[in-house]
Structure 1
Amino acid sequence: MSESQITRRASYGPSSPDVGTRGANTRGKIVEVSLELFGQVGFFNTSVDAIARGAGISRATLYQYFPGKDEIFLELLDECGRALFRVARRIGPLGPTDVGFDNLNWWLGEWSWVFEKYSTMFVQWTAVASSETAVRPEITRFIGGYNQRIADRLESSGLKGIEAKAAAVTMTAVVHRMNLFVHTNRAYGRNTQSVVDSVSVFLQLMLFPETPDSVLASLDLSAVGHDAIDIPPMPDIAGSTTAERTVGLSKRAVNTVQTLVEAGAVQFRERGYHRTSVDDIVEEAGFARGTFYKYFSEKQDLLVALSADSATAAIDLADRITHIDPMSDDDCELRAWLDEYLHFLMRYSGTIDAWSERSVDSDIVSRLGAFAQAHVDRALLSLISSKTRDYPFDPVMSALIFRAVIARVPQATKELPTPLSRDEEIDLLTACIKRGFFTRAR
């Protein structure tokens, strides 16, 4: 070997024969520190340098174990994924019986236990999965496999009226989003058991609307928390909306601002907020970089504009749903509202993800999201509370479940092998809402 050649230590990766105790401990420390940092500042705000410092090693040493933080996330994903699959394998028969309802409630309780243990991963899950990272296809693969296992169980349980794969996607989407609400303090004071019980009642009726009231009554429904939904103060957004920003501008300038805002909405939706750069936005818009800074101070300033626009649209949608009768034999009004909501969701999904995941260091964006979502929740609470029921029912949690269904399920169905059409999405949402909330309401 010539003196110019460099001798490298063998990698301590999982396939290395030279890992040893010391190497395994170092690898474990890297994973442990990464999980802690992901929880504190989020996946996108965590750097490899910060992980190395936290683990007490050099950056070069970290790269002997992992090519980057994406691969560390994948290792953590594999760990929590194995835990979820162990729970899924143990689900007993489901159906409109005491045993079926008990098995469903047990599964949801076990899922919540896994979520508690790996809450950092699940909180980051959606934001990472919606961005262009090496992690994204692995999350998609895992979700597909998990939903297939649930769908198989539903088919063997005699599910009728909803296609099994669509029902499975709905179940996992709602459970994930509701657990996320608990672990980000947005469940209106409800604890994990209260959420598990309310989701159990909703899913049981969504899957098996013929379930007798006596079966539902077998659950001692826990409803610890607030019995009303308070809307936080409206933040001062004067001058923040797109319309307000364009007052007094020429027609050409107005079109430029609107084009930039639209390009930002598209890029935030397709790449995720954190993975989107100003260069991505101006390339989408077809403008020079300098044009962007003529109207926006930074990328986050554009997010504020989109947040103000989407909050205004969300409040309008919330106000209008309170005038719909979801128990009407004619579903036209509900379906028309859902169609408008899906248009809203498509346009602002990247912005809504920034609200929901609380992954943006912007007080105005966080407050706008909290205000708009509470406004929607109160409207849904009013709709749900207008009917009485003879089975255990928590109206506040049901309003939150309702929002989880309409906000997350349409996105989750895109993970199906054959994504649903717009009409099929509306069919699924209508069925979930009517079966899960209004089957036997009066």
Structure 2
Amino acid sequence: MASTPDKTRRPGYAPAANVGVGRRGLHTRDRILTCAADVFLVNGFHGTSLDTIAKAASASRATVYQYFAGKEEIFRELSVSAERDVLDHADRLGDLSPTHDGIEALHGWLAQWADLYDSHAAVFAEYPGIGTELSVIEVGTVAETFAEAVTIRVRGAAVEGLDPDDAAAALMRIPHMVHLYRYRAMFSLPARDVVTSSLTVALQLMLFPDTPDDVLSAVLPPNRPEPAGPLPEADPRPAATATGLAPIALDVLSVSSALFAECGYYAVGMEQIAAAAAVSRATLYRYFSTKVEILAELTRKAVDEIEVQSAVLPGLEADSLARWMLGYVRFHRDYGGVIRAWLDGTVAEQLSDAEVGHGIGAVHRAVLALLDTVDLPARIDVRVASTVFLAVLGRMTEATAAAESGTDERAADLMATLLRRSILRSL
């Protein structure tokens, strides 16, 4: 759904502290927040207008403006509520260990995280899509405090073979991505309790690969999860466009990809792209009439590359996993901003003809084919295992506190290590 710019707000609306609104007013305000959360979740922040929020809340624009200065303030308030719960959740992580008590502590914490995600999905779904570039909220301090609390728990657990910062990053990033996939319905996943139990096993093994089988089985459903079924088939790809781009167009694509990765898709304008490519706006528009066209061409290039890389994944052997990961890390460095844009529902809708599903789908099918060749731990659901693999690809390319200036090789080695310790143990 295309974004509709908000109209200029009339003076006098949105009193600073909503003083004296009364019980009925508070009920209206809460209804606006609840309805706005639903709309943000469906359309994304940038794809939502104030008119859409007002309609969902069965209110007029004037009524919404009595309580909020605009959609930015509404989203900011939803974010503040999420931040409070996130910080509280960080302190709830119990003692981790390769014992029944340790895995129960992790399982309970992840179950609470699933509840937390369900409560604040409208906010969480903006990360790591275009969310890191949302100017209406600041998550740096919250993320740092959350990471510090989790890292302290990991240090106390004496995890071997992983730097505590790396282990804490895995505990924070992977569950978020798995639930993002669940909410975006990007892949077929089982019931939430199966997602949580299988995710618990995967993360437990990342931390403690020698955890006994009877400990792992303690948090799993009593019966083997239903099989995932045949591998998903790819839809026919749209017809390819001409690949013989002029040097200026290639320069535009290169600088655009870098800008999207650094600033986020929505924060970059055509004027900024023209300046970075050292061309006039008139010259830029001769090659690309809109920013969406640039993203679409970058998507086609990314899909072509990732389909080639994914094709070799099912036949990988243990000693070649890190090398494959290194190729993926470098791919992700080149197209990170483009990939994040794919996770935004509004952008993905605009790019439906540019094969977004083929990029993500190619990797997913390759991962499932690879997992079909290994013995997964203790009844872990293969569909959840595949999303854990994708979460590692999607988030662990980013530096952790242990390696803020780390190399691509270090990131690739960490990603391969996490997967070998957990779902690729028999590879």
1:379-413 residue CA offsets vs partner (Å, 9 max, x unmatched) = 222323323356223333212211110121223x3
Equivalence for 1:38: 40
For residues 370 and 217 of structure 1, the distance between their equivalents in structure 2, rounded to whole angstroms, comes to 35
2:197 partner amino acid: D
Q: How many residues align?
A: 413
Give the deviation of 1:223 after TM superposition.
2.9
- TM-score, normalised on structure 2? 0.87
Query: Does the CA-based 8 Å contact 1:105-1:200 persist in structure 2?
Result: yes
2:359 to 372, 377, 389: 372
Query: Does the CA-based 8 Å contact 2:238-2:354 persist in structure 1?
Result: no
Give the deviation of 1:318 after TM superposition.
0.9
1:117-138 residue CA offsets vs partner (Å, 9 max, x unmatched) = 2222221232343325132xx2
Equivalence for 1:5: none
1:196-252 residue CA offsets vs partner (Å, 9 max, x unmatched) = 122111101000111011211223346346333313313213216xxx152xxxxxx
1:419 to 385, 404, 424: 404
Equivalence for 2:248: 256
Equivalence for 1:438: 424
Give the deviation of 1:313 after TM superposition.
0.7
SS, match of residue 265 in structure 2: coil
Please tell me whether residue 185 in structure 1 is matched to residue 188 in structure 2: no
Query: Does the CA-based 8 Å contact 1:188-1:229 persist in structure 2?
Result: no
1:411-431 residue CA offsets vs partner (Å, 9 max, x unmatched) = 3x36x4862412432332122
For residues 302 and 436 of structure 1, the distance between their equivalents in structure 2, rounded to whole angstroms, comes to 38
Structure 1: 5+ residue runs without aligned partners? 1-7, 247-253
Where do 1:280-291 residues align within 5 Å? 280-291=272-283
Evaluate the alpha carbon distance shift between residue 165 and residue 398 of structure 1 in structure 2; reply closer, same or farther with a 3 A threshold. Answer: same
Query: Does the CA-based 8 Å contact 1:12-1:23 persist in structure 2?
Result: no
SS, match of residue 267 in structure 2: coil
2:294 to 297, 302, 305: 302
Please tell me whether residue 163 in structure 1 is matched to residue 166 in structure 2: no
Query: Does the CA-based 8 Å contact 1:191-1:225 persist in structure 2?
Result: no
1:368-389 residue CA offsets vs partner (Å, 9 max, x unmatched) = 2222222212222232332335
For residues 358 and 311 of structure 2, the distance between their equivalents in structure 1, rounded to whole angstroms, comes to 14
Evaluate the alpha carbon distance shift between residue 389 and residue 338 of structure 1 in structure 2; reply closer, same or farther with a 3 A threshold. Answer: closer
Query: Does the CA-based 8 Å contact 1:310-1:348 persist in structure 2?
Result: yes
Structure 2: 5+ residue runs without aligned partners? 1-10
Query: Does the CA-based 8 Å contact 1:13-1:64 persist in structure 2?
Result: no
Equivalence for 1:124: 126
Query: Identity across aligned pairs (percent)?
Result: 25
1:421 partner amino acid: G
1:394 to 374, 381, 406: 381
Give the deviation of 1:34 after TM superposition.
2.4
Give the deviation of 1:341 after TM superposition.
1.0
Query: Does the CA-based 8 Å contact 2:130-2:265 persist in structure 1?
Result: no
Query: Does the CA-based 8 Å contact 2:42-2:345 persist in structure 1?
Result: no
For residues 225 and 181 of structure 1, the distance between their equivalents in structure 2, rounded to whole angstroms, comes to 19
Evaluate the alpha carbon distance shift between residue 89 and residue 290 of structure 1 in structure 2; reply closer, same or farther with a 3 A threshold. Answer: same
Please tell me whether residue 141 in structure 1 is matched to residue 102 in structure 2: no
Evaluate the alpha carbon distance shift between residue 62 and residue 10 of structure 1 in structure 2; reply closer, same or farther with a 3 A threshold. Answer: closer
1:107 to 90, 106, 109: 109
Please tell me whether residue 316 in structure 1 is matched to residue 308 in structure 2: yes
SS, match of residue 33 in structure 2: helix
Equivalence for 1:429: 415
What is the alpha-carbon root mean square deviation over aligned residues?
A: 2.7
Equivalence for 1:238: 240
2:338 to 351, 355, 374: 351
For residues 139 and 193 of structure 1, the distance between their equivalents in structure 2, rounded to whole angstroms, comes to 28
1:281-336 residue CA offsets vs partner (Å, 9 max, x unmatched) = 1121111112222122322111111111101111111123334312x4xxxx3332
For residues 269 and 144 of structure 1, the distance between their equivalents in structure 2, rounded to whole angstroms, comes to 21
1:105-152 residue CA offsets vs partner (Å, 9 max, x unmatched) = 1111111112122222221232343325132xx222222211221111
Give the deviation of 1:9 after TM superposition.
6.4
For residues 52 and 292 of structure 1, the distance between their equivalents in structure 2, rounded to whole angstroms, comes to 38
Where do 1:23-102 residues align within 5 Å? 23-51=25-53, 56-58=59-61, 65-102=67-104
- TM-score, normalised on structure 1? 0.84
Give the deviation of 1:18 after TM superposition.
4.4
